Amino acid sequence: DQQVKQNSPSLSVQEGRISILNCDYTNSMFDYFLWYKKYPAEGPTFLISISSIKDKNEDGRFTVFLNKSAKHLSLHIVPSQPGDSAVYFCAASATSFQKLVFGTGTRLLVSP
Amino acid sequence: AAGVIQSPRHLIKEKRETATLKCYPIPRHDTVYWYQQGPGQDPQFLISFYEKMQSDKGSIPDRFSAQQFSDYHSELNMSSLELGDSALYFCASSLSGSNQPQHFGDGTRLSIL
């Protein structure tokens, strides 16, 4: 039972354009959401997070949007850069259990 | 900034052998998590520790055990290794409390022959 889903396995974007990565979840207990970037042979790198009391959080080129009623969040990267090419994982946790539940990942390719 | 350190980075074992994976959290982080990532899969939570006590348990086989020591480093002990245990094992650390992001090490790649 995949509680966190990333329905797009891959995404290709041109440099300078916006990248939008999407994530859906099913468990209403989730109240903290994170995005990680992962390069091959490295661990996931924390990018940005959002708690359920907010609907938007911004950090430089990265913005995360949360729509609780739709159980949907998205990561916007603008402008996209070739160095952003990696696998992006959405993850969720709940106050009652702080373990992370991961989505299956989206491979982003930003071409020059 | 100091990151989560895992050792070894690579480990090759044979079936029925034992393995010990080590994790050194970011300084002042008091919570440690272990995850297993199989080929083409997302990371799956195994177990976590807060202040040296087990705080949560996931799909960890009975053949595996873990502990957190007084210096907050953690070790994952794996016995009677099986071919299916071949995976990437990640350790993450965080500060305790709500809404604290977990920071991951680069993992240990365990291969069972």
Q: Do A100 and B31 touch (CB under 8 A)?
A: no
pLDDT at residue B1 greater than cutoff 80:
no
**Alpha-carbon distance B106 to nearest alpha carbon in chain A (angstroms):** 4
CA distance B5 to B27: 11
Q: Using H for helix, E for strand and C for coil, what is the string for chain A? A: CCCEECCCCEEEEECCCCEEEEEEECCCCCCEEEEEEECCCCCCEEEEEEECCCCEEEECCEEEEEECCCCEEEEEECCCCHHHCEEEEEEEEECCEEEEEECCCEEEEEEC
Identify the pLDDT of residue A96: 67
Question: Residue A23: pLDDT band by 50, 70, 90 thresholds?
Answer: very high
Supply the range of the domain harboring residue A103. 4-111
Q: Do A43 and B4 touch (CB under 8 A)?
A: yes
Q: Number of CB pairs < 8 Å for A and B?
A: 57
Question: Residue B65: pLDDT band by 50, 70, 90 thresholds?
Answer: very high
Structurally, how many domains does chain A consist of?
1
Closest residue in A to B47 (Cα–Cα): A99
Neighbours of A34 (CB within 10 A): 22
Q: Using H for helix, E for strand and C for coil, what is the string for chain B? A: CCCCEEECCEEEECCCCCEEEEEECCCCCCEEEEEEECCCCCCEEEEEEECCEEEEECCCCCCEEEEECCCCCEEEEECCCCHHHCEEEEEEEECCCCCCCCEECCCEEEEEC
Work out the percent of chain A whose per-residue pLDDT is above 70.
98
Question: Average pLDDT of A51-62?
Answer: 96
Among residues B79, B85, B90, which one has the least CA distance to residue B25?
A: B90
- Minimum-distance CB partner of B33 among A51, A99, A104: A99
A10 touching chain B per CB within 8 A: no
| Average pLDDT score, chain A | 95
Work out the percent of chain A whose per-residue pLDDT is above 90.
91
Kindly report the CATH number assigned to the domain that includes residue A69: 2.60.40.10
| Average pLDDT score, chain B | 94
Identify the pLDDT of residue B39: 87
pLDDT at residue A97 greater than cutoff 80:
no
Identify the pLDDT of residue A2: 84
CA distance B28 to B42: 28
Question: Average pLDDT of B88-106?
Answer: 93
CA distance A82 to A39: 13
Domains and their CATH numbers in chain B = 13-112 (2.60.40.10)
Tell the residue number behind the tokens 């044979």, with chain if given. Answer: B14
Q: Do B106 and A41 touch (CB under 8 A)?
A: yes
Among residues B45, B61, B38, B48, which one has the least CA distance to residue B112?
A: B38
Question: Average pLDDT of A75-83?
Answer: 97
Question: Average pLDDT of B44-73?
Answer: 94
A89 touching chain B per CB within 8 A: yes
Identify the pLDDT of residue B40: 84
| Strand B10-13, strand B108-112: pairing | parallel
pLDDT digits (tens, 9 = 90+) for A41-52: 899 999 999 999
pLDDT at residue A21 greater than cutoff 80:
yes
A34 touching chain B per CB within 8 A: yes
